[in-house]
A and B are shown apart, each in its own frame.
Chain A
Amino acid sequence: MEFANTPSFFRHGPSPAARLTVCVLLSLSLLVADSRFGLMERAREAMSVVLYPLQRAANLPVSAVRHLSDFFVAQATLKEENDALKNHALAQKAEIDRLRAAQADLAELRKTHALSASLGGGGQIAEVLYTGRDPFSHKIIVDKGEDAGLSRGQPVTDDGGLVGQVTRVQPLSAEVTLVTDKHQMVPVMLERTGVRAILYGYGGGVELRYLPMGADIRPGDRLLTSGIDGVYPSGLPVARVERVDRTSSNAFVRAITRPLGGLDHGRFVLVLPVRSVPPPPPPAVPAPQTKAGK
């Protein structure tokens, strides 16, 4: 295909039609090669290095415009966004607080459950509903009662130590008298020496009374239940000795102790079964005698 009025004395090389044929054949073979053998992948790998500066240059105005528009954000937009973010943060804070409380509950439940397992699995986990309203009586109300088979006299403990004793059972709840209550006494022994004593509640705390002047007791000693009363299982931690008063005006040593159980904190307690049945009544020997007497 020759162009019209092309002077023949110029050298043109191959005619446009020939060039077109060559180019078309070339590109067709490239197309086939690419679709069959993935030629493009390798070519791009090699050419991407060359093209990279070009791409960066093409990106330059766009990123510059973006920076600029970032810089000139309207005050109102910022304010709005800030408010929204603050609200969001507040909502999330509340959520986190809730989560934290739930986590603490879970940890406490786990500990209580572990304690129940270590005591032979006989206990029942109960949740503290509320504390007694009367400030003079040290009692808490738990969410299990007759429905769960609770009965008076059962010891109540938590992961720290002895809490108290079930003293009244209602259909759906039970009243637990804390060891600090004035009428509550716990037979204990000193962990270090094995000396037995009785721990008295006095309203605000617990104390050891009637220990002889020479008793071996020091601050830091731990008091465990001795288990000789048949109510409390032996070996439950009850209190720790805080201070020992040996004044000559008193006939006995006075030891101020601090209860170890969570009396005023914690949400879950473990109600233990009464350890043993009361000692059997004396044998009924007199019965035939009375009969005989009549």
Chain B
Amino acid sequence: MSLDHPQELLKPVSLRFVWLTLAIALLLELVPLPVGRARFMPDFVGLLVLYWAINQPRLVGVGTAFTAGLIADIATAGLFGQHALAYSATCYLAQYRQRQLVMLGLGQQSLVVLGLMLCNQAIMVLARMATGAAFVGFAYFLPPIIGALLWPLLTKLMLLPYRRG
């Protein structure tokens, strides 16, 4: 439904596909990486939740974001509820202005996504610090930038299976 190709009609997206992409994103986060490099990995699950929240608001809402966040919590062995809290909050923020966001070009969308992802990280940092963890440093806010840079690529990739041949 991206307005990148306004005249293009896409196949309907099934909920099953949404969850499949989320599972793949989770898989990507589980890939064992060298210790130093793992922290540059963008939060793929958060990115996808935002993508679906912006492009398929009928299918993906705050509830889905919350569930995806819970699964991410378990997979990354974080604090229970930190991803869930962050994802549901940013999902709500994205959907609050969803009609406007869909109208924006990919570059501008990337900027908005950067803000939302930074918001994600900020909520998680606050949640961790509220439960007594020390501040982990500003490198923690690097993945959102990479994630925002990947946003146009992600959008193109997600549209691929739904083009009508």
User: Which residues of A pack against B, CB within 8 Å?
Assistant: 1, 3-5, 16-17, 19-20, 23-24, 26-31, 33-35, 39-40, 43-44, 47, 51, 54-55, 57-59, 61-62
Contact in complex: A31, B74 (CB < 8 Å): no
Contact in complex: B79, A40 (CB < 8 Å): yes
Contact in complex: A55, B80 (CB < 8 Å): no
B80 cross-chain contacts in A, Cβ below 8 A? 30-31, 33-34, 39-40, 43
* In the assembled complex, B88 has its CB within 8 A of some CB on chain A: yes
B84 cross-chain contacts in A, Cβ below 8 A? 23, 26-27, 30
* In the assembled complex, B155 has its CB within 8 A of some CB on chain A: no
A43 cross-chain contacts in B, Cβ below 8 A? 74, 80
B38 vs chain A, min Cβ distance (A): 12
Contact in complex: B32, A23 (CB < 8 Å): no
Contact in complex: B32, A28 (CB < 8 Å): no
Contact in complex: B85, A27 (CB < 8 Å): yes
B150 vs chain A, min Cβ distance (A): 19
Contact in complex: B31, A28 (CB < 8 Å): no
Interface size on B, residues (CB 8 A): 36
What are 7 A-B pairs at a CB distance below 8 A? A16-B92, A19-B88, A27-B81, A39-B80, A51-B75, A59-B31, A62-B32
Question: With contacts A31-B80, A58-B32 known, is A24 near B89, CB below 8 A?
Answer: yes
B26 cross-chain contacts in A, Cβ below 8 A? 54
Contact in complex: A26, B66 (CB < 8 Å): yes
Question: With contacts A3-B98, A31-B79, A58-B30 known, is A16 near B62, CB below 8 A?
Answer: yes
Q: Determine chain B's interface SS by DSSP, over half rule.
A: helix
Question: With contacts A20-B89, A26-B66, A31-B85 known, is A55 near B77, CB below 8 A?
Answer: no
Question: Which residue on B lies nearest to A63, using beta carbons?
Answer: B32
Question: With contacts A20-B88, A51-B75, A54-B30 known, is A30 near B62, CB below 8 A?
Answer: no
B23 cross-chain contacts in A, Cβ below 8 A? 54
Question: With contacts A1-B96, A40-B80, A44-B74 known, is A28 near B62, CB below 8 A?
Answer: no
- Bound together, the chains give a CA A189 to CA B84 distance in angstroms of 99
- Bound together, the chains give a CA A34 to CA B80 distance in angstroms of 6
A54 cross-chain contacts in B, Cβ below 8 A? 23, 26-27, 30, 75
Question: Which residue on A lies nearest to B28, using beta carbons?
Answer: A58
Cross-chain contact of B74 among A27, A47, A59 (Cβ < 8 A): A47
Cross-chain contact of A31 among B75, B81, B96 (Cβ < 8 A): B81
The listed residue with most B CB atoms (<10 A of its CB), out of A29, A43, A58, A62, is A58
Contact in complex: B85, A28 (CB < 8 Å): yes
B33 vs chain A, min Cβ distance (A): 8
Question: Which residue on A lies nearest to B132, using beta carbons?
Answer: A35
Question: Which residue on A lies nearest to B130, using beta carbons?
Answer: A31
* In the assembled complex, B161 has its CB within 8 A of some CB on chain A: no
Cross-chain contact of B81 among A5, A16, A30, A58 (Cβ < 8 A): A30
* In the assembled complex, B120 has its CB within 8 A of some CB on chain A: no
The listed residue with most B CB atoms (<10 A of its CB), out of A17, A27, A33, is A27
Contact in complex: A44, B77 (CB < 8 Å): yes
Which positions 46-102 of chain B face chain A at CB distance < 8 Å?
57, 61-63, 65-66, 69-70, 73-75, 77, 79-82, 84-85, 88-89, 92, 95-96, 98-99
Question: With contacts A30-B84, A54-B26, A54-B27 known, is A16 near B79, CB below 8 A?
Answer: no
Cross-chain contact of A62 among B31, B69, B98 (Cβ < 8 A): B31
A231 vs chain B, min Cβ distance (A): 78
Contact in complex: B30, A40 (CB < 8 Å): no
